[in-house]
Amino acid sequence: MSTSSTINTGPALKLPEKHYLNASYGIRSWLLTTDHKRIALLYLASVTFFFFIGGFFAMMIRLHLMSPYGTLLSADTYNRMFTMHGVTMVFFFLIPSIPAVLGNFLIPLMVGAKDLAFPKINLLSWYIYIIGGSFTLYSMMTGGLDTGWTFYTPLSTIYSNSAVAPAVVGVFITGFSSILTGLNFLVTVHTMRAPGMTWFRLPLFVWAHYATSVVMILGTPVIAITLGLAAMERVFGLGFFNPAMGGDPILFQHLFWFYSHPAVYIMILPAMGVISELIPTFARKKLFGYHFVAAASLAIAVIGFLVWAHHMFLTGQSTYAALAFSFLTFLVAIPSAVKVFNWTATLFGGSISFDTPMLYAFGFLGLFLVGGLTGLFLGCLGIDMHVHDTYFVVAHFHYIMVGGAVMGYLGGLHFWWPKITGRKYPEWLARIAALVLFVGFNLTFFPQFVLGYLGMPRRYHVYPPEFQVYNVMSTAGASILAVGYLLPMIYLMWAAFYGEVAGNNPWPATGLEWTTPSPPPTENFEVTPVVTWEAYDFHNRPELGLDVLGVPRHGGMLPAHGDD
């Protein structure tokens, strides 16, 4: 069957004596840290917390939807469930997850710097995230809100009786966390690369985060002003979205989606960056078409800003504008497709091993493909007429965000866990968990494509009884998915303390981060590295212990199966 890529050679490895985790002790050394690696772990704890809160709301939705007659929750409570699920997952999990956890940890290491450009601003961005999260938690505790995560007016500004204001304030504040993270990354990549680390030697993870940061910087302020105006309208009676004063609710939607569409690229680009690291490593082959993938990241970021009104095809907006946005939506699929082709081409002729991160990468490839293609269906005006606001849309974006972004996040967590903690996770348990997750995910969301096509609307607390069988399948899948999420939470935590010591480069992989000890010292590099090799260059790096074909050297034979 498959072999693991770690080579069992020599005596047992030991953790380095001093590293960023034991450099100082005490809660103050964590809460007042400016070390990007510690801040990444602070974020890891917080995003995981919000993930489980969002997951709780998802559970409530799926449990309720087992019955077509809406027996578990009232209509009003159901509205609050899907709203809070969306708000928590989008703003407090998906947008920060990979950039704030993996990006923060890895970008200085990958560019060869001692830290990000602005370490104190990095810490500030975490605190801002926590404060924003607190406002939103407060909103939840005072009854939650029922407007949908999209806060459409005039429901959110005039008619809703729920805790809109604190939630809007919470999201507004958290937006600044995103902006500061993006700012830090952009400046770091521009000014803090090590000697020899030219733009085209950067790992594609860095390119992906650069593109993500461009989106964060240019898009997030617009949702800030939009929510600000909505809050002003709710509290002080300003009238831009109020038809009674001559205002236009569609203006809110334009402003909202101007950010929220690029926001989905904030969620997926980092995951694509992770995949660009995983596939070359586990195919032992240079990434095919490096320049194309780098350019595609930027193209997605730019074109992604030009398509937002495809969320508004049924609002009565101008047909001519709709045509333009539909065309641009088809255009934005092209760079994503370019990436998928390049990843696939990388696999061809490679020496593939099926370690857990690679399983997540494969999962990503298939599920992102489905999600992306169904996005094209939605971008087509005629089809969207039929499936807009149905479960087809729900399935589409969950395929991308869960099947894509979350798989990328988990794959990345597993891949870099040895670097972050110095220890390996249990490989076989991890592979089983990945499979459980994959099965659970598809069982949850594939029936939703069928439901949407058959006409079941989203955000309704009841549905026609003939749809029940698909809903029950979906709920069953959700419980399996939950197991798939709980398992890594448990074993990754366990492995952080008791896992097998990993050494500098257990995979082996080619990035600069793998040249440091695991876990790295606080200052990352004792001596500033000088880079003389290209990215993913397995062949010219004899220290990685790979032969000409990228196969681990072991007397010409592949290492024995069962490495633990």
Partner 1 sequence: MSEHEHSEHIVPPSLYLVIILTLMCLTALTVAVAYIDLGRFNIVAALGIATIKATLVVLFFMHAKYSPKRTKLVIFAGIFWLIILLFMTLSDYASRVDYRGVRYPMSQNLTLTHAPRS
Partner 2 sequence: MHRTGALYGQFETLEQQKETASLGMWIFLVTEVMFFGGIMLAYTINRHTYYHAFAMGSQTLSIQLGTLNTGVLLASSFTMAMAVWAAQVGKKKLIPLFLALTIVLGFIFFGVKYVEYAQKFHHHLVPGRNFDIAYCVNNPSQCEDINAKDMEKEREELTAAMEADPDLNAHAQLYYSAYFGMTGLHALHMIIGAGLLFWLLRGSLAGRFSAEWNTPVDLVGLYWHFVDIVWIYLFPLLYLIDRHK
**68 near partner 2 (CB under 8 A):** no
**236 near partner 2 (CB under 8 A):** yes
Q: How far apart are CA 511 and CA 90, in angstroms?
A: 30
Which residue's CB is nearer to partner 1, number 221 or number 517?
221
| Beta bridge pairs of residue 423 | 501
State in angstroms the smallest separation of the CB of 243 from partner 1.
9
How many helices (H) and strands (E) are present in the chain, helices listed first?
Answer: 16, 2
Going by C-alpha positions, the residue among 218, 338, 394, 359 that lies closest to residue 279 is: 359
Q: 3-state DSSP: the chain helix, strand, coil percent, rounded to 5?
A: 65, 0, 30
Going by C-alpha positions, the residue among 220, 24, 1, 37 that lies closest to residue 123 is: 37
**CA R_g for the chain:** 23
Question: Could you say which of 2, 127, 190, 348 contacts partner 2 (CB under 8 A)?
Answer: 190
Which residue's CB is nearer to partner 1, number 120 or number 190?
190
Question: Could you say which of 23, 306, 432, 435 contacts partner 1 (CB under 8 A)?
Answer: 306
State in angstroms the smallest separation of the CB of 189 from partner 1.
11
Which residue's CB is nearer to partner 1, number 101 or number 222?
222
State in angstroms the smallest separation of the CB of 40 from partner 1.
25
**218 near partner 2 (CB under 8 A):** yes
Near partner 1 in 176-215, by CB under 8 A: 190-191, 193, 214
In the block, which residue shows the tokens 């949407």?
452
Q: How far apart are CA 417 and CA 420, in angstroms?
A: 5
State in angstroms the smallest separation of the CB of 325 from partner 1.
8
Question: Could you say which of 62, 254, 396, 398 contacts partner 1 (CB under 8 A)?
Answer: 254
**246 near partner 1 (CB under 8 A):** yes
Cα-flanking dihedrals φ and ψ of residue 232, to 5°? -60, -40
**240 near partner 2 (CB under 8 A):** yes
Near partner 1 in 424-483, by CB under 8 A: none
State in angstroms the smallest separation of the CB of 93 from partner 2.
23
Kindly give the residue spans of alpha helices, DSSP state H, lying in 284-401. 290-303, 319-347, 356-379, 381-387, 391-400
225 interface partner picked from partner 1, partner 2, none, CB below 5 to 8 A per type: partner 2
Q: Are 194 and 111 in contact (CB under 8 A)?
A: yes
In the block, which residue shows the tokens 């991160």?
357
**237 near partner 2 (CB under 8 A):** yes
Structure tokens at 281: 């490593």
**32 near partner 2 (CB under 8 A):** no
Task: Find all residues with CB under 8 Å of 212, minimum gap 6, and list them.
Answer: 99, 103, 182, 185, 265, 266, 269, 270, 273, 301
Question: Could you say which of 32, 75, 314, 321 contacts partner 1 (CB under 8 A)?
Answer: 321
Dump the DSSP string for 438-460.
HHHHHHHHHHHHHHHHHTPBTT-
Near partner 1 in 114-173, by CB under 8 A: none
Three-class DSSP category at 68: coil
State in angstroms the smallest separation of the CB of 182 from partner 1.
13
Q: How far apart are CA 293 and CA 536, in angstroms?
A: 13
**124 near partner 2 (CB under 8 A):** no
Q: Are 217 and 183 in contact (CB under 8 A)?
A: yes
Question: Could you say which of 238, 295, 439, 473 contacts partner 2 (CB under 8 A)?
Answer: 238
Question: Could you say which of 66, 73, 131, 187 contacts partner 2 (CB under 8 A)?
Answer: 187
317 interface partner picked from partner 1, partner 2, none, CB below 5 to 8 A per type: partner 1
80 interface partner picked from partner 1, partner 2, none, CB below 5 to 8 A per type: none
Q: How far apart are CA 421 and CA 437, in angstroms?
A: 24
Question: Could you say which of 15, 59, 324, 462 contacts partner 1 (CB under 8 A)?
Answer: 324
Q: Are 58 and 402 in contact (CB under 8 A)?
A: no
Near partner 1 in 214-243, by CB under 8 A: 214, 218, 222
Question: Could you say which of 191, 318, 344, 532 contacts partner 2 (CB under 8 A)?
Answer: 191
Which residue's CB is nearer to partner 1, number 215 or number 406?
215
Which residue's CB is nearer to partner 2, number 12 or number 244?
244
Which residue's CB is nearer to partner 2, number 188 or number 475?
188
Question: Could you say which of 145, 164, 255, 402 contacts partner 2 (CB under 8 A)?
Answer: 255
- The helix or strand, by DSSP H or E, that contains position 501, with its residue range, turns out to be strand 500-501
Return the exposure string of 224-245: e unless at least 16 CB atoms fall within 10 Å of the residue's CB, then b.
bebbebbbebbeeebebbbeee
Q: Are 167 and 139 in contact (CB under 8 A)?
A: yes
- Per CB under 8 A, the segment of 44-52, 130-138, 320-328, 459-467 that binds partner 1 is 320-328
Structure tokens at 226: 């939009």
**258 near partner 1 (CB under 8 A):** yes
Going by C-alpha positions, the residue among 251, 404, 384, 290 that lies closest to residue 329 is: 384
**221 near partner 2 (CB under 8 A):** yes
Question: Could you say which of 101, 116, 215, 301 contacts partner 2 (CB under 8 A)?
Answer: 116
Near partner 1 in 357-396, by CB under 8 A: none
- The helix or strand, by DSSP H or E, that contains position 424, with its residue range, turns out to be strand 423-424
- Per CB under 8 A, the segment of 198-206, 232-240, 279-287, 385-393 that binds partner 2 is 232-240
Sign of CA dihedral 329, 330, 335, 341: positive
Q: Under the rule (CB under 8 A), what is the footprint of partner 2? A: 34-35, 108, 113-119, 121, 179, 183, 186-187, 190-192, 217-222, 224-226, 229, 232, 236-240, 244-248, 251, 254-255, 258, 523, 528
Q: Under the rule (CB under 8 A), what is the footprint of partner 1? A: 190-191, 193, 214, 218, 222, 246, 248, 251, 254-255, 258, 305-306, 309, 316-321, 324
